[in-house]
Amino acid sequence: DTGVSQDPRHKITKRGQNVTFRCDPISEHNRLYWYRQTLGQGPEFLTYFQNEAQLEKSRLLSDRFSAERPKGSFSTLEIQRTEQGDSAMYLCASSLTSGFWRAEAFFGQGTRLTVV
Amino acid sequence: SQQGEEDPQALSIQEGENATMNCSYKTSINNLQWYRQNSGRGLVHLILIRSNEREKHSGRLRVTLDTSKKSSSLLITASRAADTASYFCATDQDAGGTSYGKLTFGQGTILTVHP
């Protein structure tokens, strides 16, 4: 399967613990995005990378959140000192984009985080 | 913030009927994309329409775009029970010379197709 893969699919953690999620994009895609989705809402943009460079971060991404994409391949999203409000589905997407017309983004299955 | 607003919020139809969902947005766009999401799962890309296109087809899907009204519609013809899902429109804003590519989603339309 050459789609976007995310790991783990589910994560239950205690408040105050740190968690890390991984995303493997489609191999030739230069863009990688992280979104967060809460129940009954559409996904909200968190951050994105072009190759290894993190180009934009949403105001939703507090100092407790950090994302990396070493060597422009897979990406990790870490949440430190988790809070109950962090409970959500974390979605990763990738796209191959160059030029004026941007391409579609393909999403992974998401990581569902529950903070207890 | 959510740019897209889908209408209706929920739609219930019988198998074989057509389903139409609408999306309105606020800023100029590079493209608009429609996604499907089954309960608790990831998003599946359905179709992308560029800002210079007015209509696009893919199988049983038909998407229209009216940039003057900042609106789009998704038509699913001859619906099936397997089409039951949430449908989201997502706009890729036109940032002038800067290429963003991030998507802004609406809250979605929940479609239920009864067999």
Interface of B with A in 9-48 (CB under 8 A): 30-31, 33, 35, 40-45, 48
Measured distance CA(B21)–CA(B53) in Å, rounded: 18
Would the CB atoms of A42 and B106 count as touching at under 8 Å?
yes
**Partner residue opposite A45 with nearest CB, options B31, B99, B103:** B103
The pLDDT assigned to B99 comes to 45
Secondary structure, 3-state, B54-109: CEEEECCEEEEEECCCCEEEEEECCCCHHHCEEEEEEEEECCCCCCCCCEEECCCE
Q: Work out the minimum CA distance from A22 to partner chain B, whole angstroms.
A: 15
Distances (CA, A) of B34 to A74, A86, B79: 25, 26, 17
Q: Which residues in chain B are closer than 8 Å to A40, comparing Cβ atoms? A: 107
The pLDDT assigned to A72 comes to 85
Q: Which residues in chain A are closer than 8 Å to B99, comparing Cβ atoms? A: 97, 100, 102
What 8-state DSSP symbol labels residue B18? -
Q: Work out the minimum CA distance from A75 to partner chain B, whole angstroms.
A: 16
Interface of B with A in 56-85 (CB under 8 A): none
The pLDDT assigned to A27 comes to 92
What 8-state DSSP symbol labels residue A1? -
The pLDDT assigned to A90 comes to 98
Q: Which residues in chain B are closer than 8 Å to A35, comparing Cβ atoms? A: 103, 105
The pLDDT assigned to B98 comes to 46
Measured distance CA(B115)–CA(B15) in Å, rounded: 5
The pLDDT assigned to B41 comes to 85
Residue A65 CA, distance from chain mean position:
11
Quick: pLDDT tens for A83-97: 999 999 999 999 987
Average pLDDT over residues A11-35: 96
Size of interface A-B (CB pairs under 8 A): 71
Distances (CA, A) of A48 to A13, A35, A39, A82: 25, 9, 22, 21
Quick: pLDDT tens for B36-94: 999 878 899 999 999 999 999 999 999 999 999 999 999 999 999 999 999 999 999 87
Quick: pLDDT tens for B91-110: 998 765 444 678 999 999 99
Say whether residue B101 is in contact with chain A using an 8 A CB cutoff: yes
* Helix H or strand E encompassing B89: strand B85-93
The two tokens of residue B7 are 């209408």
Would the CB atoms of B102 and A41 count as touching at under 8 Å?
no
**Distance spanning both ends of chain A, measured CA to CA:** 33
Q: What is the CA radius of gyration of chain B?
A: 14
